[in-house]
């Protein structure tokens, strides 16, 4: 009998071969449809200032300790995008950005950018630049105003605008007796705020108050009649709590948001605010009165309506009827007491 031998040393990949020509169209279509969901939504791109890596590294100091970290932006697109977003947010150019990246504490020990620290420094720089810009605008406005005043001194007086009776505001106590209601409202409608505010002070206007209204005039661009109505509301109402920088700035910002740009709108705004304050005061008074009434009722209920918090305790009355004891009875009681004590 002849035995047949089978060679089992043949590798399996020679025994089985994949069919490379087979193609499942339905499977490929299903995979293509779910591919975007499997990848996930891409994060939205950050706004950028468009500062390239070359613009940053060209201006960055060579001997800076942070230069080796900044050089990583050449291959780290995320870091470059983050610094460009901060530059876009706070209107920084390449020189300002390099100055901030050169400061201590902008990178951790591993060289990663500390975005929160960069944003805090950028915000401080932004506020300083804005403050300098406001001061420059005020200086230019004052210079231009003096030039226009000198040039127009020989011209005719500016036109006066009338004030209707329904838009009259009452004369403040500081100006009582110095002008009537018509004269006061004509001044408020036609005078510049620098002259109108001087009427409320016997001497010079406080410097900080003058700066506040100057900023409202030059930076907020509120018209002069609106600023005068604001002065009436803040100073003329004779409420010391109003004369603060925060309150004046809040009212001016509220006027800007509500687009108060005429004298008539400003008068309506002031009357509305006065009505709201009066209603709020009435509600507070009613709340205090109700709380006081409830407190008195609670005390009366605890006291039982008698006005005394001590309980009623019966007291033994002294009737005055004391019976006299005879000597014989007293002697018997003594003997009984000695007997009980063991004494015979």
Please give the full DSSP string across 312-344, using - where no structure is assigned: P--------------HHHHHHHHHHHHHHTT--
Structure tokens at 256: 């800007």
**For residue 283, what pLDDT is reported?**
87
Q: Which residue has the tokens 């004779």?
A: 238
Give the whole-angstrom CA distance, residue 230 versus residue 249. Answer: 10
In the 8-state DSSP scheme, what is residue 107? B
**For residue 7, what pLDDT is reported?**
63
Exposure on the CB side of residue 54, measured as CA atoms within 13 A: 0
Domain boundaries in the chain?
53-144, 165-277
Using an 8 Å Cβ cutoff, are 107 and 69 in contact? yes
Report field, pTM of the whole predicted structure over 0.85? no
**For residue 238, what pLDDT is reported?**
61
**For residue 153, what pLDDT is reported?**
47
Exposure on the CB side of residue 11, measured as CA atoms within 13 A: 3
Give the whole-angstrom CA distance, residue 227 versus residue 189. Answer: 10
Mean pLDDT by 10 residues, the chain (344 residues): 62 59 61 54 62 88 89 88 87 88 88 88 83 76 61 56 89 88 91 87 85 84 91 79 84 90 92 87 82 68 56 58 69 80 62
Q: Please spell the DSSP secondary structure of 143-210, one letter per residue.
A: HHHHHHHHHTTTSPPPPP----GGG--PPPGGGTTTS-HHHHHHHHHHS-HHHHGGGG-SSPPPHHHH
Give the whole-angstrom CA distance, residue 264 versus residue 166. Answer: 9
Give the whole-angstrom CA distance, residue 76 versus residue 68. Answer: 13
Residues whose CB falls within 8 Å of the CB of residue 181, separated by 6 or more in sequence, listed in order:
168, 170, 171
SS3 state of residue 113: strand
Give the whole-angstrom CA distance, residue 274 versus residue 175. Answer: 20
Q: Which helix (H) or strand (E) holds 44?
A: none
Q: Is 236 exposed, middle or buried (0-12, 13-18, 19+ CB in 10 A)?
A: buried
């Amino acid at each position: 009998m002849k035995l047949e031998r089978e060679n089992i040393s043949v590798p399996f990949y020679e025994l089985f071969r994949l069919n490379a020509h087979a193609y499942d169209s339905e499977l490929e279509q299903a995979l293509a449809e779910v591919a975007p969901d499997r990848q996930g939504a891409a994060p939205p791109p950050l706004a950028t200032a468009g500062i390239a890596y070359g613009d940053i590294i060209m201006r960055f100091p060579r001997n800076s300790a942070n230069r080796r970290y900044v050089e990583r932006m050449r291959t780290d697109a995320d870091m470059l995008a983050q610094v460009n977003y901060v530059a876009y947010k706070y209107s920084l150019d390449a020189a300002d950005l390099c100055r901030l990246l050169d400061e201590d504490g902008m990178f951790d020990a591993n060289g990663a950018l500390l975005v929160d620290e960069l944003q805090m420094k950028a915000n401080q720089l932004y506020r300083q630049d804005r403050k300098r810009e406001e001061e420059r605008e005020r200086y230019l406005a004052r210079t231009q105003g003096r030039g226009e005043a000198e040039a127009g001194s020989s011209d005719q007086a500016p036109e006066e605008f009338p004030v209707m009776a329904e838009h009259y505001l009452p004369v403040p106590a500081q100006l009582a007796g110095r002008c009537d209601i018509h004269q006061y409202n004509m001044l408020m409608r036609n005078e510049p705020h620098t002259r109108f505010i001087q009427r409320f002070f016997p001497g010079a206007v406080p410097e900080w108050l003058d700066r506040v209204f100057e900023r409202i005039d030059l930076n907020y661009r509120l018209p002069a009649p609106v600023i005068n109505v604001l002065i009436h509301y803040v100073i003329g109402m004779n409420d010391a709590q109003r004369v603060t920088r925060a309150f004046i700035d809040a009212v001016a910002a509220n006027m800007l948001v509500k687009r108060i740009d005429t004298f008539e709108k400003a008068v309506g705004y002031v009357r509305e605010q006065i009505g709201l304050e009066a209603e709020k005061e009435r509600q507070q008074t009613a709340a205090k009165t109700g709380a006081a009434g409830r407190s008195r009722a609670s005390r009366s209920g605890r006291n039982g309506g008698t006005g005394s918090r001590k309980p009623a305790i019966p007291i033994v009355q002294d009737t005055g009827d004391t019976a006299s004891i005879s000597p014989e009875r007293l002697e018997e009681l003594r003997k009984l007491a000695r007997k009980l004590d063991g004494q015979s």
